[in-house]
Homo-oligomer: A and B are copies of this chain.
Amino acid sequence: MISDGMEKLIALARLPGASLPDSARQIARFSLFDWMVVGCAGRDQPVARIIREYVAAEGGNGVASLIGGGMAPARGAALVNGTASHALDYDDTHFGHVGHPSVAIMPAALAVAEEIDASAAAVVDAFLLGAEASVRLGMTLGRGHYERGFHQTATAGAFGATVAVARLLDLGEAETRNALSLVATRASGLKSQFGTMGKPFNAGIAASNGVEAANLAKRGFISCDDGIGGPQGFIATHADAPDPHAPWTDLPNRFLFEDVKYKFHACCHGTHAMIEALRSVAIDGKSVKAVHLRVNPRWLKVCDIKAPRTGLEVKFSYAWLAAMVLAGADTAADRTYGDALAADPNLAALAARVTVAGDASLSDTATALELVTTDGRSIRVAHDLAAPLPTEAIARGLRAKADALLGGEEAGRLWALVAAIGRHSAREIGAALRGS
């Protein structure tokens, strides 16, 4: 039942810590590290600067850290840090949720944890519960919500952020209900912002809305009984075809959040399976006569730009990215994607050998390709991002990405912090994000 969602979210926020599986906590710690890395890497992006300077100009009690420097009230810090960490669009993705869990929820959890001086481990647990809430609600809202034009990262994310903060503030059942019903009137975010500063800002508003709603509920704010599944609630107003069978029933035994995927390349997630497949062949571009890709047809509208004109457009170009892999370029470093890349004649020559076809039999996390060599061999290879990676492979990939984005020294400091999370406070996490 749809209206069951509210009860499940309340139960999630109040789940005993002992019920959290170690495997899910491990992934949540990976997400914390990856979120810190992409946040620090995005700190000087124009949109991050604009929001940080606006919040700094408001002033206020500096209880929570701003990525890139400074302190602010928790609501403002969540707005800044959500925006900064999504600025590069390099953060984690949950394909079932149709959204980015960390950038909406981690900033809310961290800001409030700093304010109340909670432990870093409490941030991880609150994030995990909030992320699970956003994934489940995102699935309930369904693909129709996304297709209509809503950005699940922001909409479902606001409810997840509320769950995370409710957890940290130890709200009672009635308070948690009020917080979730209240955020239903605040949650927003449109896909028409994609390609603009509005996309990362959407993550910031989700985080900020969660901080606000849970704090107001703690102060006695009364909202309606079920602002999510009730009459004219969030689902009725925002989802044309909600999934009444969204899998709430296996909670808390299974955390779907564990299916989250990390980006190891600084380009559109729809191209990553192709990149991994090509890398697995380990062939030099000079020996390649043709590359024939097959992908789920939905990606053809997203990341099949044939002749990119800018570095940003390269991030959405199968042909160019395939050429980069064949040429040995570092696809993990954001700085690789300068505008000169689109004018590189060597890459253009390699890209001209790539064809892309839609294949509805492939899921949207999979790519199959045939590589034809100059000496006439045909090599067939496929990759599906949905296949779970071994923990060690995730750790290796995240660490390499961090090195590429931040350099080894800063990456190492952040890694050490998260590796010893049990010994640290939320405020130490915040200090690392401030760069102090």
- Chain A positions near chain B (C-beta within 8 angstroms): 46-47, 50-51, 53-54, 57-61, 73, 75-76, 148-151, 154, 181-182, 184-193, 195-198, 201-202, 205, 212, 215-216, 219-224, 227, 230-234, 236-237
The distance from the CB of A18 to the nearest CB of chain B, in whole angstroms, is 33
A54-B216 in contact (CB<8A): yes
On chain B, the residues within 8 Å of A219 by CB distance are: 50, 53-54
Q: Which residue of B lies closest to A187 (CB)?
A: B188
B236-A224 in contact (CB<8A): no
B186-A188 in contact (CB<8A): yes
The distance from the CB of A172 to the nearest CB of chain B, in whole angstroms, is 16
- Copies of this chain: 2
On chain B, the residues within 8 Å of A230 by CB distance are: 192
Q: Which residue of B lies closest to A148 (CB)?
A: B237
Most buried by B among A189, A191, A232: A232
In the assembled complex, 30 residue pairs joining A and B whose CB atoms fall closer than 8 Å, in A order, are A47-B221, A53-B219, A54-B212, A54-B219, A58-B60, A58-B61, A58-B76, A59-B61, A59-B73, A60-B60, A60-B61, A148-B237, A150-B237, A154-B185, A181-B196, A181-B198, A182-B193, A182-B201, A184-B190, A185-B192, A185-B198, A185-B202, A187-B188, A188-B188, A190-B232, A190-B234, A190-B237, A192-B232, A193-B224, A198-B224
With contacts A58-B73, A60-B58 taken as known, whether A233 is within 8 angstroms of B192 at the C-beta atoms is: yes
Top 6 A-B residue pairs of the complex, sorted by shortest distance between their CB atoms: A149-B232, A60-B60, A58-B73, A149-B237, A192-B232, A59-B60
The 8 Å CB contact of A182, one of B53, B57, B198, is B198
Q: With A and B bound together, what is the CA distance between A72 and B16 in angstroms?
A: 38
On chain B, the residues within 8 Å of A215 by CB distance are: 54
Q: With A and B bound together, what is the CA distance between A51 and B212 in angstroms?
A: 10
